[in-house]
């Protein structure tokens, strides 16, 4: 029972982290119709910038400044890169962001090298918040939850309650109309792209100390983020939230309960074959849930795409 609680907290942390990335990605996608392949690269940049700043000015300045730099970079990429490629169509746009992801990874290796950076949890938060049945919950995790929830609330407030939010929402569905009403739609696009990447930057800053700051970090999380928004339904913010949490919990639980595939097969009435050596399915029998935890999201995605192609909360494709 207590273990469940620990897992719920851990899964929540992972899920909310995923959501900070998938929220920005979804906003950008529904506005411009382009999936930003380099989104997780901005997450990585956030972590590296924060690390560099934290050496000089400490973690908190890093948390404040790094996302701003990342956001400005993101806006620049939109302005001078994407907007140019936009004229060629969606597929070249996607290829562009893919190339950008490659280049950012190389750039990071160029500047900081291939090793993991010693980017650590700030001292203030380096203690145990409380323990559940002998499992200590670090304060930093609680901090991560608060930051993500806070950002989500802020985003929701801006999008639904403010004038800027209204314009953005309108520009999502009717860019032409909004433009003819005198709003600068390209500027809005650039702004949304900047904010979306800045969000990824925040995620990077707070994830860097726990998940590690290394050149492969974008790649590790990047494809999971895509899977998340496909599962949630492309362009649906709530779908992204649901899918992020789902994946967070799914992978956490799969990792902590050591279920073997043979147990599951036995439970549904298939008995384990006597001689395993010649069986081509032998690996399938011995697979355990921690082993497949990382590929569960992909399996889930394939299932969703087969049975509900529009995603969990996505609108049906017309």
Partner 1 sequence: MSNQLTTDPSKSAQRMRAGSMTMTLMPWILAAGALMLMPFIFTSSSALTIMNQMWITVIFALAYNMLLGQGGMLSFGHAVYAGVGGFACMHIMNASDFFASFPLPVLPVFGGIFGAGLAMIVGSFSTRSAGTVFAMISLGVGELIAASSVIIVAFFGGEEGISGDRTYAMPFFGNEFLQQINVYYLTSFWVLLSAALMYLWSRTPVGRMANAVRDNPERAEFLGYSARWVRYYSFVASGFFAGIAGGLFAINYEIVTEENLNTASSGVILLVTFLGGVGFFFGPIIGAIVFTLVQTVLSLQTELWAFYAGSLFLATVMFFPGGLAGLLMMHVPVFKLGKAKLLIEPYFKTLLPAAIGILGLCALVEMTFHFRHATKGDNEMTLFWTTFDSHTVLPWLIALAVTAVGLAIAKRTAPALKEAWSDANSAGEVS
Applying CB under 8 A, the residues found at the interface with partner 1 are 29, 33-35, 81, 84-85, 87-92, 94-96, 98-100, 102-103, 106-107, 109-111, 113, 219, 223, 226-227, 230, 234, 280-284, 287, 291-292, 294-295, 298-299, 301-302, 305-306, 309, 317
Nearer to partner 1, 29 or 49 (CB): 29
**Those residues with Cβ within 8 angstroms of residue 42's Cβ, 6 or more apart along the chain or in another chain:** 70, 73, 74, 104, 197, 200, 201, 204
φ/ψ of 169, rounded to 5, equals -60, -40
What CA–CA distances, in Å, run from 88 to 36, 72, 192? Answer: 16, 25, 21
Q: Which two tokens stand for residue 85?
A: 């490629």
Nearer residue to partner 1 within complex by CB, 63 or 105 = 105
d(CA 168, CA 189): 9
> Is residue 157 within a helix (H) or strand (E), and if so which, with residue range?
helix 139-161
Give the shortest CB-180-to-partner 1 separation in angstroms.
26
Query: How far apart (Å, rounded) are the C-alpha atoms in residues 167 and 223?
Result: 31
| d(C-alpha 213, C-alpha 203), whole Å | 12
Identify which of residues 41 and 197 has a Cβ nearer to partner 1 in the complex.
Answer: 41
Residues in the chain: 318
Q: Cβ neighbours of residue 231 under 8 Å, at least 6 residues apart?
A: 239, 243, 246, 247, 297, 300, 301, 304, 311, 312
Nearer to partner 1, 114 or 163 (CB): 114
CB of 306 to partner 1, least distance (A): 5
CB 197 within 8 A of CB 78: no
Report the nearest approach of partner 1 to the CB of residue 294 (Å): 6
Which one, 155 or 237, has the nearer CB to partner 1?
237
Q: How far is the CB of 42 from partner 1 (least distance, A)?
A: 16
Identify which of residues 5 and 111 has a Cβ nearer to partner 1 in the complex: 111
Residues 6+ apart with CB under 8 A from 86: 32, 34, 93
- Say what angle helices 217-232 and 237-256 make with each other, to 10 degrees: 120
Looking at beta carbons only, is 180 or 279 nearer to partner 1?
279
Pick between residue 234 and residue 250 the one whose CB is nearest to partner 1. Answer: 234
């Amino acid at each position: 029972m207590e273990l469940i609680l620990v897992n719920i907290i851990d899964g929540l942390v992972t899920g909310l982290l995923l959501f900070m990335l998938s929220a920005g990605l979804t906003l950008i996608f529904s506005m411009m119709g382009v999936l930003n392949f380099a989104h997780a690269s901005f997450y990585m940049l956030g972590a590296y910038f924060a690390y560099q700043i934290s050496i000089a000015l400490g973690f908190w300045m890093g948390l404040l400044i790094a996302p701003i730099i990342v956001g400005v970079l993101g806006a620049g990429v939109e302005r001078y890169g994407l907007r140019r490629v936009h004229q060629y169509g969606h597929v070249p746009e996607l290829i562009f962001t893919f190339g950008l992801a490659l280049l950012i990874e190389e750039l990071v290796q160029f500047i900081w090298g291939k090793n993991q950076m010693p980017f650590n949890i700030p001292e203030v938060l380096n203690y145990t918040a409380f323990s559940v049945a002998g499992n200590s919950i670090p304060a930093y995790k609680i901090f991560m939850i608060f930051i993500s929830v806070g950002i989500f609330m802020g985003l929701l407030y801006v999008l639904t309650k403010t004038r800027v939010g209204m314009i953005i929402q309108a520009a999502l569905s009717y860019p032409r109309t909004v433009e003819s009403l005198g709003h600068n739609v390209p500027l809005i696009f650039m702004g949304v792209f900047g904010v979306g990447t800045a969000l990824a930057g925040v995620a990077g800053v707070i994830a860097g100390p726990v998940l590690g700051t290394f050149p492969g970090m974008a790649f590790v999380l990047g494809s999971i983020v895509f899977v998340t928004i496909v599962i949630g339904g492309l362009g649906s913010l709530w779908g992204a939230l649901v899918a992020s949490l789902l994946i967070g919990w799914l992978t956490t639980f799969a990792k902590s309960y050591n279920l073997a595939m043979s147990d599951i097969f036995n439970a549904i009435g298939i008995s384990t074959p006597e001689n395993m050596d010649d069986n081509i399915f032998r690996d399938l029998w011995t697979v355990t849930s921690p082993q497949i935890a990382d590929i569960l999201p992909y399996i889930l995605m394939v299932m969703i795409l087969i049975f509900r192609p529009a995603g969990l909360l996505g609108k049906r494709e017309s």
